[in-house]
Amino acid sequence: MESESEAKVDGETASDSESRTESAPPPVSADDTPEVLNRALSNLSSRWKNWWVRGILTLAMIAFFFIIIYLGPMVLMIIVMCVQIKCFHEIITIGYNVYHSYDLPWFRTLSWYFLLCVNYFFYGETVTDYFFTLVQREEPLRILSKYHRFISFTLYLIGFCMFVLSLVKKHYRLQFYMFGWTHVTLLIVVTQSHLVIHNLFEGMIWFIVPISCVICNDIMAYMFGFFFGRTPLIKLSPKKTWEGFIGGFFATVVFGLLLSYVMSGYRCFVCPVEYNNDTNSFTVDCEPSDLFRLQEYNIPGVIQSVIGWKTVRMYPFQIHSIALSTFASLIGPFGGFFASGFKRAFKIKDFANTIPGHGGIMDRFDCQYLMATFVNVYIASFIRGPNPSKLIQQFLTLRPDQQLHIFNTLQSHLIDKGMLTSATEDE
């Protein structure tokens, strides 16, 4: 009887909470447009006023994007980290606002603690992978690197035990809701931002082109939809139209080809970002791979009859850019649709009011996170091969007898393939 009454109390509490959440009125979105723009655009209709506000602030964000690219990879990584924290804050704040009246113990504290733990794990893996020589040189870092995963798991276990100890009888279901909320947010935000940084280390071109394609698609889909949109695309986003979706696709593919052509000619964009132990700084200097060397391609006969060209000179990376821009324009928007469904579920217009006319940071990066995963998978599947420098770094950390064993094995393998001659043949 006691367990049944407990279940009833818990059930009533959960159902009451859900009904209160459903019946809560949607928050009124205040006009967050800067006063100077409000005065300048006061004579325009709301439709055109929104168009100008979005346009001006979009140009400002693009200018900021160019500035951080100019400042180099270290600043880019810091910006990615800041964006990740802000996106996490926006999503967790929504959960807090929805359930704040129930005074869930330790909810926000545990959420930020788990963010710290997951970042420690992912960034620790990155430091070990890309700063291997530096880690091995410094004794404290070497110890932290050796036991990194154990330390990360221990930190997570502490948070897990804190959550269990914070459970309150009348809020069991709500607390598990929020536990899941936090972990799904970590999966969406932290994991993807970690992949963004991995893409950056492959070369800044793998960071800039995908992000620029998403930005281009977002802008061109809005422009085509604004001027030519007539046919609704999806109920989750009533303002999205087929005209904008299709126009954005073709514009993004052309933009991706042009941007890739320009960037492929500069070593600072195509070379992997590596850490120089002598200067204690990042370097992006290398001999460009075949992916970034101009090659001549034969044009199919059907297209030859139209344009009159038999061959075309282009970078192989431009072919890969077609895949990137296609994903950015056809699949990437589904990240935005997912975010729209999430916002409709909680009756909110935007994740936050950080950027006037655009909403929160998460509103601008909902498609970018999906794109980051695709780029990372694409590089691992079709681009990246074994890295000799990393193999040598790991080889040098082995014991002398292990190094000698690998040396003898490699020597025998090369002799069998005819690439080396044995000592007896030399005599």
320-370 pLDDT per residue, tens: 999 999 999 999 999 888 888 888 888 888 888 877 766 788 888 888 888
CB atoms within 10 A of CB 368: 22
What was the pLDDT predicted at 46? 74
- Contact between 366 and 338 (Cβ < 8 Å): yes
Beta-bridge partners for 234: 237
Torsion, Cα of 271, 276, 281, 283 (10° steps) = -10
Q: Which residue has the tokens 């409709």?
A: 344
What was the pLDDT predicted at 328? 95
- Would you tell me the crossing angle of helices 172-201 and 361-378 to the nearest 10 degrees? 60
**How far is the CA of 31 from the CAs of 107, 184, 225, in angstroms?**
30, 31, 24
232-277 pLDDT per residue, tens: 888 888 888 999 999 999 999 999 999 999 999 999 899 988 777 6
Q: Give me the long-range contacts of 218-222 (CB less than 8 A, separation at least 24).
A: 218/248, 218/367, 219/58, 220/244, 220/247, 220/248, 220/251, 220/252, 220/255, 221/245, 221/247, 221/248, 221/329, 221/333, 222/54
Element (H, E) at 237: strand 237-241
Residue numbers in the chain where pLDDT is lower than 50: 1-29
Beta strands in 251-351 (DSSP E): 274-276, 281-283, 295-298, 311-314
What was the pLDDT predicted at 15? 44
**Signed CA dihedral, 208, 214, 220, 222: sign only:** negative
What was the pLDDT predicted at 34? 64
Q: Which of 161, 135, 167 is nearest to 148 (CA)?
A: 135
> In the chain, helix, strand, coil percent, each to 5?
75, 5, 20
Beta-bridge partners for 94: none
What was the pLDDT predicted at 37? 65
Number of continuous H segments (helices) and E segments (strands) in the chain: 19, 6
What was the pLDDT predicted at 27? 47
- Contact between 164 and 171 (Cβ < 8 Å): no
Torsion, Cα of 54, 60, 62, 65 (10° steps) = -140
